[in-house]
Structure 1
Amino acid sequence: MKKYIGLILAMGLIAVMVAGCSNEGQVTDKEAAKENNVIKVASHMPPMTDVVEIAAEVIKDEGYEIELVQVNDNIQYNELLNNKEVDANFAQHEPFMEKFNSEKEANLVMIQKIYNAKVGFYSKEYTAIDQIPNGAKVALPSDVSNEGRALAILADQGLIKLKEGVGFDGTIKDIVENSKNLEWLSVDLLNLAEAYNEKDVALVYNYPTYIAKVGLTPKDALFLEKTIDDRFAISLVAREDNQDSDKIKALKKAMTSEKVREFLVNDHSDTLLPAF
């Protein structure tokens, strides 16, 4: 009889253990399913982060959830994406991405252009181009992709002349005429706004997002970019290995939704232009 009772207790214990394992497996499956519906997107600052958050509302209808991973510099969002810690990022233009790919042997891919920022040059002291004196200091972004864009704008205004054919890819070495003997200061993009308040700096290149730190908008620029090159549109970026995934397709759809367009047009028409 004791053996019989012992056998029953043992069988019951095994059943409980099996049930526990089964329930544990079910929890894991649910967690995995939830994880599969989460899209992690790294971004930097407004209005980029705002666009991601609006897309997060839109994408709920598709059964997905966007998790915004906010960073505080222009390095982390690409590192996170390249290391597969996020699914996508939204903080850069294509030339900047290509520079990262080249330097890091990465495989990031531009998925969708979202908006073109109104970039240009600002001056605290001068209100007209002809007021800029000989030997004036000009603050340019230190990264190659943005430096080329800045120089192209200066060339378009007749302040310098670049080697024929370099377009937006020029560097200081490609300047063939500098009639005002402008002096070049290479400054990290995140620090260019601070250069605006420097006494000996006549011109500062900048984006609306960064120049807002000193209370300025593109309306305050001495001059803005005349010819827009869509390669510089702030874009949704993923990797070669996930660019065709359902997650990225759904993310692209949400970020090009009418709600995102309305936000860009209604709230930020002074600083940018939609690119989709």
Structure 2
Amino acid sequence: MKRIVSIVVLLTVFTVLLSGCAAKEDKKLVVGASVTPHAEILGIAKEILSEKGYELEIVEYSDYVQPNLALDAGDLDANYFQHQPYLDQFSEERGLDLKSVAIIHYEPIGIYPGKTASIDALPDGAQITVPNDATNEARALLLLEAQGLITIADGAGLDATINDIVENPKNLEIVEIEAAQLARSLEDVDLAVINGNVAIQAGLNVATDSIAFEEKDSVAAETYGNIIAVKSGDEDRDDIKALIEALKSDKVRDFINDTYEGAVVPKF
């Protein structure tokens, strides 16, 4: 009889310990992010979440593919690196069921000088590099159009590619390359249209180093806000809500404004 009681007690203790471990694990969030500025911003949110009893693990990525695949596979609870059009396109192409739960910030895309210092000095046949992913390529082309360098076919809009260029008076050679390589291309080309986070990583600030950039009240600013993405069905989790609340705090807003000086713009 005593042996049976002892076994019951041990099982009860074991169950309690397991419950405690599960509860502890439930308080841990794993979020994938681009190194700059996303992981840096999450670093401030981590401090806030810690005060609420949550542990935030930040996994850094240098590409735009793996964070969504890892989220879909369940390796991440959320990711923070992309805008809605990219998420929509990627999810459709890969058959993923991912969802945006919050818009945190906006990164203006800019035109940066390489071998040519200004748009007015751009020679005929000049080379300009743009991102090769569809959504950011359209942004780049629209920005070039806004500077009078090219004309894009009516209706192409945010789906524009180089095939939609209908006028190119300077016979510009527009070269599509991976976003992460854009800043490195500057020494070899006349101009480069560079994503906000890539520019920041390269030590460039769109407000001071670019020769043209998307305005904060533009259609692009409203369309390309950087989001928190989760697997569909996870949007009502308490830890995800706590993450969003931390990222939309005054402390994070002040960090963004003070650190990036216009290169990253809070959207809350």
Same fold, judged at TM 0.5 (above)? yes
CA distance in 1: counterparts of 2:39 and 2:175, whole angstroms: 30
- Find out whether 1:53 has 2:18 as its counterpart: no
Question: What does residue 92 of structure 2 align with?
Answer: 102
Range 212-221 or range 173-182, more displaced: 212-221
CA distance in 2: counterparts of 1:212 and 1:63, whole angstroms: 32
Q: 1:214 to 1:83 in 2, by over 3 A?
A: closer
Shift of 1:94: 0.9
Question: What does residue 242 of structure 1 align with?
Answer: 234
CA distance in 1: counterparts of 2:102 and 2:251, whole angstroms: 16
Quick one: which of 170, 195, 198 aligns to 1:210?
198
Q: What SS does the corresponding residue of 1:204 show, helix, strand or coil? A: strand
Shift of 1:61: 4.1
Name segments (4+ residues, structure 1) moved above 6 Å.
none
CA distance in 1: counterparts of 2:49 and 2:68, whole angstroms: 23
CA distance in 2: counterparts of 1:206 and 1:126, whole angstroms: 15
- The answer on whether the counterparts of 1:95 and 1:145 sit within 8 Å (CA) in structure 2 is yes
Q: Deviation string for 1:140-184 (max 9, x for gaps)?
A: 111101000000000111100111132222111111111111112
The one-letter amino acid of 1:44's match is S
Shift of 1:14: 3.3
- Find out whether 1:230 has 2:193 as its counterpart: no
Shift of 1:214: 4.2
CA distance in 1: counterparts of 2:242 and 2:134, whole angstroms: 33
- Find out whether 1:93 has 2:83 as its counterpart: yes
Q: Deviation string for 1:25-72 (max 9, x for gaps)?
A: 111100001111222211120221121121122123443322212223
Q: Deviation string for 1:56-103 (max 9, x for gaps)?
A: 221234433222122232222111111122111111111111111111
Gaps of 5+ in 2: none
Return the TM-score normalized by structure 2.
Answer: 0.92
Percentage of matched positions with identical amino acids: 33
- The answer on whether the counterparts of 2:108 and 2:221 sit within 8 Å (CA) in structure 1 is no
CA distance in 1: counterparts of 2:133 and 2:163, whole angstroms: 14
CA distance in 2: counterparts of 1:178 and 1:72, whole angstroms: 33
- The answer on whether the counterparts of 1:151 and 1:168 sit within 8 Å (CA) in structure 2 is no
CA distance in 1: counterparts of 2:112 and 2:184, whole angstroms: 12
Shift of 1:194: 1.2
State the structure with more CA Rg: 1
- Find out whether 1:83 has 2:70 as its counterpart: no
CA distance in 1: counterparts of 2:175 and 2:62, whole angstroms: 23
Gaps of 5+ in 1: 1-10
Q: 1:267 to 1:52 in 2, by over 3 A?
A: same
Quick one: which of 170, 177, 181 aligns to 2:171?
181
- Find out whether 1:255 has 2:247 as its counterpart: yes
Q: 1:157 to 1:141 in 2, by over 3 A?
A: same
Shift of 1:190: 1.0
CA distance in 2: counterparts of 1:253 and 1:40, whole angstroms: 16
CA distance in 1: counterparts of 2:37 and 2:253, whole angstroms: 12
Q: 1:177 to 1:210 in 2, by over 3 A?
A: same
CA distance in 2: counterparts of 1:39 and 1:258, whole angstroms: 21
Give the length in aligned residue pairs: 264
Question: What does residue 19 of structure 1 align with?
Answer: 9
Shift of 1:264: 0.8
